[in-house]
Amino acid sequence: MTDNADILTITHSASGASFAVHKFGATVISYKSKDGRENLFLSSSAKLDGSKAIRGGIPLVFPIFGPPTDAGSTMPQHGFARQNMWTVKDGSKHDSDEHAGISLSLNLADASAGRGDGNMWSVDNVKKDGTDCRLTLDIKVDGTSLTTILIVENTGSDAFNFNCLQHTYFAVDGSAAQDPTKCFVHGLGGYSCIDKIDSANDGKVASYDEDIDLTPGEVDRVYVHEEKHSALGVKIGVGEGKAIKMESMGEVDESPVPVSCVVWNPHIKKAKGMGDFTDEQYKDMICVEPGLLGHQPLLNPGKEARFTQIIFA
Ligand code: BG6
């Protein structure tokens, strides 16, 4: 790890578990459980100097997922949350018997990068329309889990729709990501698939005994639950004999909303085209990304959305 002053490491003294968060994007870049295992993948070529969204850890995706869908918008893929420096909230750093943690926030007015032109978040449009928001990330670690809660507050005078994700890169031991017996996602039964690589899978509903694995090559799928089904709970195989549980839940104005799940791995061809990822590192990671997407939440002025991910490792 670099000694970059924008990286804060928080240790839960009672258990020895710890995490590190980079102020750029409020990106959690390390989560070590009490046995010392690193649970998050961080590319050895990741840019940690604020020149680019960080490749690894838990980048935050807001307010769009993927490239912009508004005609003429130049907002970069996955939005501006991961493209700006966040501020540590005064007095939020703590370390008690129960947990240790910290909170960071980003006001829209301080998001100077990544808003693009030609969309409701563009600087010019915001002045006209009264769109405004504040993002907060509460992070805490204890002896069994890492919890990250993204809070989106509508501080403006207009309602807005948004998508958000916690784009979690899980580290896979032994470079085993392509071995379906060691690396898989279990728990997406009943979710229907939107497949960005192989349209033959589009609309297929995963069965309850099915594990998703990375053997087809590049995998880039969104799993959406068709019925009202708010909480997501998956088991992720991350190497020989090692699995991690991840849970996620969301609420908008205190009402539960469905959580979808993206499964992504670039495989070799895409890896070779990524400047901040080495050719072979696709074997060392699997992205399992809970998200408020598929169903686009509407957030009214004065209201907030809360979106939680808990990793039990
Ligand atoms: C995933 C998307 O969430 O993120 C993929 O589904 C995308 O389509 C991947 O390639 C990585 O995105 P980025 O912008 O961090 O390279």
The 10s digit of each residue's pLDDT in 26-63 is: 999 999 999 999 999 999 999 999 999 999 999 999 99
Q: Of all atoms in ligand 1, which is nearest to the CA of residue 61? A: 3
Buried b (16+ CB within 10 A) or exposed e, 44-79: eebebebeebbbbbbbbbbbbbbebeeeebebbebb
The rounded Å distance from CA 65 to ligand 1 centre is 9
> Which residue ranges make up each domain of the chain?
7-312
How many angstroms separate the CA atoms of 164 and 230, rounded?
Answer: 15
Q: Of all atoms in ligand 1, which is nearest to the CA of residue 77? A: 14
CA distances in angstroms from 129 to 109, 253, 302, listed in the order given: 14, 22, 15
Give me 237's structure tokens. Answer: 């195989």
Q: Of all atoms in ligand 1, which is nearest to the CA of residue 196? A: 8
pLDDT of residue 116 exceeding 90? yes
pLDDT at 296: 84
Give residue-wise pLDDT tens across range 227-246.
777 799 999 999 999 999 99
Q: Of all atoms in ligand 1, which is nearest to the CA of residue 270? A: 10
Residue type, 238: V
Which residues, judged by CB distance below 6 Å to any ligand atom, belong to the binding site of ligand 1? 53, 66, 77-78, 167, 196, 220, 262, 264, 289
Give residue-wise pLDDT tens across range 63-106.
999 999 989 999 999 999 999 999 999 999 999 999 999 999 99
pLDDT at 43: 98
* Mean pLDDT calculated for residue range 11-38: 98
pLDDT at 3: 53
Residues 133, 137, 140: CA angle, nearest 5 degrees: 160
The rounded Å distance from CA 4 to ligand 1 centre is 25
pLDDT of residue 225 exceeding 50? yes
Residue type, 211: D
In this prediction, residue 124 has a pLDDT band, given cuts at 50, 70 and 90, of: confident
Q: Mean pLDDT across the chain, nearest whole number?
A: 95
In this prediction, residue 129 has a pLDDT band, given cuts at 50, 70 and 90, of: confident
The rounded Å distance from CA 211 to ligand 1 centre is 21
Give residue-wise pLDDT tens across range 241-279.
999 999 999 999 999 999 999 999 999 999 999 999 999
Q: Which of 260, 180, 255 is nearest to 215 (CA)?
A: 180
The rounded Å distance from CA 6 to ligand 1 centre is 24
Q: In a mutational test of the pocket of ligand 1, which residue from 42, 83, 212, 262 has the highest number of ligand atoms less than 8 Å from its CB? A: 262
What is the chain written as a DSSP string?
----TTEEEEE-TTT--EEEEETBTTEEEEEE-TT--B-B-B-TT---SSSS--SBSB-EEBS-SSS--STT----TTBSGGGSB-EEPTT--EE-SS-EEEEEEEEGGG--SS--SSSTTSHHHHHHH---EEEEEEEEE-SSEEEEEEEEEE-SSS-EE--EEE--EEE-GGG-TT-TTTEEEE--TTEEEEESS-GGGTTPBPPTT-EE-STTSSEEEEEEESSS---EEEEEEESTT-EEEEEEEEEETTEEE--EEEEEE-HHHHHHT-TTS-TTGGGGEEEEEEEE-SS--EE-TT-EEEEEEEEE-
The rounded Å distance from CA 67 to ligand 1 centre is 9
User: Above pLDDT 70, what percent of the chain?
Assistant: 99
How many angstroms separate the CA atoms of 221 and 202, rounded?
Answer: 9
pTM of the model: 0.97
Which CATH number does 7-312 carry?
Answer: 2.70.98.10
